[in-house]
Amino acid sequence: MNRSSKRIYLSPPHMGEKEQQFIKEAFDHNWIAPVGPNINLFERELAEYVGSKGAVALSSGTAAIHLALRCLGIGNGDTVFCSTFTFVASANPIVYEGAEPIFIDSDLETWNMCPLALERAFIDAKNSGKFPKAVIVVNLYGQSANMDPIVKICEHYNVPIIEDAAESLGATYKGKPSGTIGKFGIYSFNGNKIITTSNGGMLVSDDIEALNKARHWSTQAKDAFNYYHHTEIGYNYRLSNILAGIGRGQLMVLDDRIKVRRKIFNKYFDELSNLDGIEFLLEAPYGNSNHWLTVLTIDPIITGTSAEKVIDLLEEQNIEARRVWKPMHLQPLYSHCKYYPHENSRSISDVLFANGICLPSGSNLTMEEQDRIIHFVKKEILSKA
Ligand SMILES: *Cc1c(COP(=O)(O)O)cnc(C)c1O
């Protein structure tokens, strides 16, 4: 292991200039609790940024998905369609509510939900007489899914969409901010996301009444009495006023972070895309990616090496690269659930998982560090060619 060089992380936090000032203000006025001006302002500023009517600041993106499902009345015995190619947090809240996920494959162009597979799932649902109560569409690696055909299918069957935009804050689809196309959208501010509050999330929607309910549930569903009075189940899901201060500072630099990540993507692309057997996840013509992570596939037959091997070799250089998400239908946790591949006998996400690799893409990555990464990837691929 090469310990002489500083470790290069996949996507580390990158603070701006204002975060500490907002935290200091919270300390100065003793707003340390999960209530206070930073929370209200963070909600307002994020809603303004993405152009939604409202927002609820929460302790995580997972909590935001959970409350979106609660808002839609998902419960025992219901089914929910969900992208298979995602992080497990997209699907787990379905089970929290006693419902069953049904997984939908990706398409090759966007790596996101495949409209063909979604259509087949809906036709089966229609034939069985049991429609899903919601569809969770995930926007992976900073890019929106191809929403028009997905929205068209869901509108036809009158089923609401929850957009898991945990990774795509700041991206657009046909000019519209990612996360604002479905009935609900969620963002995550976990440590490795494009902006972070260390832990945190946001639920957005144009349905203010639903958002007020979610805010109520997020603080233990205390009814308006002068003693503790409850009629519904609630959660301890509110974001703290301290962390909301970090979020406000981070939101101010989001556009800069996107610019830098785009530059990083372009450099990787210029240096590596002409190698045989390498395919980048490209920015789709329908919108802007926030380029959260640069991801690509390495074909083991053409290259003679593999994503796994390249990750191990980078690790020896103290560089953190990672495999892409392992699809939900391949997880022991969810292997009993129904799954709709791209075509009946062809699963796209299986291949993406086998060959995909995420390269370090943090906005604080230096040129020299990126040159080192490129050097070792190239060396491995060219040595086997
Ligand atoms: C990070 C992430 C989440 C979960 O967000 P947390 O804030 O970590 O709870 C959900 N979905 C996707 C696709 C993610 O990448």
Q: What digits encode the pLDDT tens for the residues 255-313?
A: 999 999 999 999 999 999 999 999 999 999 999 999 999 999 999 999 999 999 999 99
Same domain, 222 and 339: no
Asked whether residue 182 falls in the same domain as residue 276, the answer is no
Number of structural domains (the chain) is 2
How do residues 375-384 score in pLDDT, each as one tens digit?
999 999 999 7
Sorting pLDDT into bands at 50, 70 and 90, what band is 236?
Answer: very high
Nearest CA to ligand 1 atom 2: 166
Domain identity same for 233 and 321: no
What CATH number does residue 30 fall under? 3.40.640.10
* Residue linked to tokens 């203000």: 25
Task: Provide the token pair at 32.
Answer: 């340390």
Instruction: Please give the residue range of the domain that contains residue 342.
Output: 254-383
Note whether residue 305 is domain-resident.
yes
Does residue 38 form part of some domain?
yes
Q: Say what percent of the chain tops pLDDT 90.
A: 96
In a shared domain, residues 365 and 260: yes
**What 8-state DSSP symbol labels residue 232?**
S
The bridge status of strand 184-188 relative to strand 201-205 is: antiparallel
pLDDT band per the 50, 70, 90 thresholds, residue 1: low
Given the residues 6, 133, 152, 193, the one annotated as active site: 193
Spatial separation of the C-alpha atoms in residues 383 and 308, rounded to whole Å: 16
Q: What is the pLDDT of residue 109?
A: 94
Last residue of a domain, one of 218, 235, 251: 251
Which whole number is the average pLDDT over 45-52?
A: 98
Q: How do beta strands 54-58 and 201-205 pair?
A: antiparallel
Within a domain: 343: yes
349: CATH: 3.90.1150.10
Helix, coil or strand: residue 184: strand
201, 227, 251: which is the final residue of a domain?
251
Q: Active-site residue 326, yes or no? A: no
Tens digit of pLDDT for each residue in 135-187?
999 999 999 999 999 999 999 999 999 999 999 999 999 999 999 999 999 99
Q: At residue 3, does pLDDT exceed 70?
A: no
In a domain, 164, yes or no: yes
The H or E element that residue 210 is part of is helix 208-218
Q: Which of 363, 383, 370, 255 is nearest to 319 (CA)?
A: 370
SS3 of 80-102: the string is: EEEECCCCHHHCHHHHHCCCEEE
On whether residue 9 sits in a domain, the answer given is no
| pLDDT tier at 4, thresholds 50, 70, 90 | low
Q: Could you tell me which residues come within 8 angstroms of residue 117 by beta carbon, excluding any fewer than 6 positions away?
A: 104, 105, 340, 341, 342
Q: What is the pLDDT at residue 192?
A: 95
Q: From ligand 1's centre to the CA of 169, what distance in Å?
A: 12
Rounded CA-CA distance 5/208 in Å is 50
Task: Please give the C-alpha separations between residue 220 and each of 60, 67, 80, 95, 238, in angstroms, as whole numbers.
Answer: 16, 12, 25, 20, 9
User: Which residue's CA lies nearest to atom 11 of ligand 1?
Assistant: 90
Give yes or no: residues 327 and 230 share one domain. Answer: no
Ligand 1 surroundings by CB, under 6 angstroms: 60-62, 86-87, 89-90, 138, 164, 166-167, 188, 190, 201
Same domain, 78 and 210: yes
Q: Are residues 204 and 312 in the same domain?
A: no
Q: Which residues pair with 56 in a beta bridge?
A: 203
pLDDT band at residue 5, thresholds of 50, 70 and 90?
confident
Are the beta carbons of 66 and 93 closer than 8 angstroms? yes
What pLDDT shows up at residue 384?
Answer: 79
